[in-house]
Amino acid sequence: MARPKQFDPEHALDAAMDAFWRKGYAATSAQDLVDSTGLGRGSLYNTFVSKHRLFEEVLRRYEEQWTTRQEAILEGPEAVRERIRAVMMTVVDEETAAQDGRRGCLAVNAAVELAGLDADVTRLVRRIFGRVEEALYGALARARRDGEIDADKDPRALAQFVLNAMYGLRVLGKTADRHTLTGIVDTTLAAL
Amino acid sequence: MARPKQFDPEHALDAAMDAFWRKGYAATSAQDLVDSTGLGRGSLYNTFVSKHRLFEEVLRRYEEQWTTRQEAILEGPEAVRERIRAVMMTVVDEETAAQDGRRGCLAVNAAVELAGLDADVTRLVRRIFGRVEEALYGALARARRDGEIDADKDPRALAQFVLNAMYGLRVLGKTADRHTLTGIVDTTLAAL
DNA sequence: CACCTTCTGGAACGGTCGGTCAAATACTCG
DNA sequence: CGAGTATTTGACCGACCGTTCCAGAAGGTG
């Protein structure tokens, strides 16, 4: 019908995600987004409407990618504790791998920066948190039925407990060393 | 020697802390600081040099106030688990009390927004985290000597585990309800 | 009291913010 | 190949950014 886009919107979304992830929402300028995506200002606004809408889209994409990966690990055939160790260790790995700035979890960063101030972001973050909790709950409930987890433990409480520890790692990961973080993972797993 | 200040710098610092706490560093403008402190631009810059220096001063004041309070609770005469429950519940209370925007912990917010990007803030945050960990460690080491905690438990690992859970609460506190948060506190305490 | 220093309030600074727009361009379809 | 439509480019917008500056006010000191 007309001139097609010269860029891949998903690729641009990934570039924008990287920018927001490193610097946060407020500190990432329109110019930063132009630079990181390589798009012109016009194309950027023509495609993504506004900085805010772009950020929402980025969060949705993050949910799609990250949550799906966590769900896949948690639905695996290994022992629950191994599966939960695996998801927790992806967090530790992410935080300690990058030598240049540990950027944490985009959803956690967004929650800390904007929850309560921005209704749309709050809603998106709540959904991401909810999905991960649900995946943990699924794994733990199944493990309890299978006798891997004591019958007197509440899978819902355990799921929230693990989720809490994972998000703690995102915060402590900003300053703590790998040894400390793996120690926390061990202590957390021992409580299941 | 000359004209004395018409305002109390500590009071201004508290007002600035409130502004930074609610909106974060980047999203708080010089105008916001003028409005919240009630100072003129001249007085503000004459006293606090720059937005960045002011934020550092605010973080130091936060450390002084918050850390001291946590240390006081942890040095108390009650059973360790009660003392640790008390510090964790102050977090839960803070997050669920405010109807208008749960602002979290200033140090956690600063860590998530700026650690890795701002060396001065990273250093200050690391010190705050360190002091709280040390206070927890002191309480747990004493409890182990007194037989309140099993001898085969490592007080350092437990201190970091509790610290991690506290910072998780700061994140989850953005979206979770009080019942969920208290449940997490219970599960965490049961692991000591 | 006059002097000197500091503080105060607000105008003003260059720069950047998020966002818009019109002209040039490149594609599809008839 | 010409008409029509959407994308691209980058100049441009008013508002606001963090910061500076200065004229005048207000004390303490001699």
| Fold (CATH) for A59-190 | Tetracycline Repressor; domain 2 (1.10.357)
Mean pLDDT over the full length of chain B: 96
The reported pLDDT for the residue numbered A23 is 97
pLDDT above 90 for B190? yes
The reported pLDDT for the residue numbered A98 is 73
Tens-digit pLDDT profile for residues B104-128: 999 999 999 999 999 999 999 999 9
Tens-digit pLDDT profile for residues B14-68: 999 999 999 999 999 999 999 999 999 999 999 999 999 999 999 999 999 999 9
Q: How far is the CA of B19 from the C1' of C6 (A)?
A: 28
Let me know: does B122 contact A175? Beta carbons within 8 Å.
yes
pLDDT above 70 for A1? no
pLDDT above 90 for B97? no
Confidence class of residue B2 from pLDDT cuts 50, 70 and 90? confident
Q: Do B183 and A168 touch (CB under 8 A)?
A: no
How many Å apart are CA B125 and CA A156, to the nearest integer? 32
Tens-digit pLDDT profile for residues A111-150: 999 999 999 999 999 999 999 999 999 999 999 999 999 9
| Residues near B86 by beta carbon (within 8 Å), at least 6 away in sequence | B73, B76, B78
The reported pLDDT for the residue numbered A77 is 96
The reported pLDDT for the residue numbered A139 is 98
Q: Which nucleotides of C are covered by protein (CB under 7 A)?
A: 4-12, 16-22, 25-29
In chain A, the residue whose alpha carbon lies closest to the alpha carbon of B29 is: A26
Q: Do B167 and A171 touch (CB under 8 A)?
A: yes
Tens-digit pLDDT profile for residues B177-187: 999 999 999 99
Mean pLDDT of A164-187: 98
pLDDT above 70 for A96? yes
Q: Do B160 and A24 touch (CB under 8 A)?
A: no
Name the residue with the least CA to C1' distance from nucleotide D30.
Answer: B1
The reported pLDDT for the residue numbered A128 is 98
Domain positions in chain A are 59-190
pLDDT above 80 for A100? no
Nearest Cα to Cα of residue A125 among A137, A106, A111, A104: A111
Q: How far is the CA of B25 from the C1' of D15 (A)?
A: 20
The reported pLDDT for the residue numbered B56 is 98
Give the CB-side neighbour count of residue B124, counting CA atoms within 13 A: 24
Q: How far is the CA of B114 from the C1' of D20 (A)?
A: 27
Among the partner-chain residues B102, B161, B168, the one whose CB lies closest to the CB of A187 is B161
CA distance B41 to chain A (A): 23
B157 touching A (Cβ < 8 Å): yes
Give CA separation, B93 vs A192, B85, B163, B172, in Å. 26, 12, 17, 13
The reported pLDDT for the residue numbered B101 is 72
